[in-house]
Amino acid sequence: MTGASNPLPQRLRRVDHLAQRRVGEETIVVDLRQSRVYGFNPAGGELLDALRAGRDTAELAAWAAESGGADLGLFLAELLAAGLVDAGEPADGAEAAPALAGHPSGAPRLLWREEVARVTHQTSPPQAITNPQCQP
């Protein structure tokens, strides 16, 4: 479970600054620090959720072999590069990791990603007859 040039850390966990919800068949993840939104297939969303408490990459490799030999290395490297997971121990108060089970939808995948548009609060000029922008 290593990338072509960079081995994965021994342990991975989902970072704490994500908001995650299931919408239909997809799992939508919002990275609140990087202002990005990601869409995962069901297996990808479940795996990301299972990484909340942290997992050993050896455990993930064994799970991948049992679920049809899906190569998780590239998927996990993609999560790591995007900043959605990091190396390390679970955060204080993290719950126990749920059991990993094979998923009928196949290998976990990141389906899409988008940057969140930055919106500022802007007020219009006062609507007064003396305001030149209100003149015909």
- pLDDT digit string, tens, across residues 17-43: 999 999 999 999 999 999 999 999 998
Burial 82-95 (b: 16+ CB within 10 A, else e): bebbbeeebeeeee
**Residue 134 tokens, joined:** 């209100």
The reported pLDDT for the residue numbered 134 is 62
User: Position 128: which residue type?
Assistant: A
**Residue 1 tokens, joined:** 């479970």
Alpha-carbon span 114 to 67, nearest angstrom: 29
Alpha-carbon span 45 to 51, nearest angstrom: 10
The reported pLDDT for the residue numbered 79 is 94
**Mean of pLDDT values over 99-111:** 71
Which is it for the CA torsion 67, 73, 74, 80, positive or negative?
Answer: positive
Q: Which residue has the tokens 């990459």?
A: 57
Which is it for the CA torsion 66, 67, 69, 73, positive or negative?
Answer: negative
Helix (H) or strand (E) holding 19: strand 18-23
More confident residue, 39 or 62: 39
Which is it for the CA torsion 41, 45, 39, 71, positive or negative?
Answer: negative
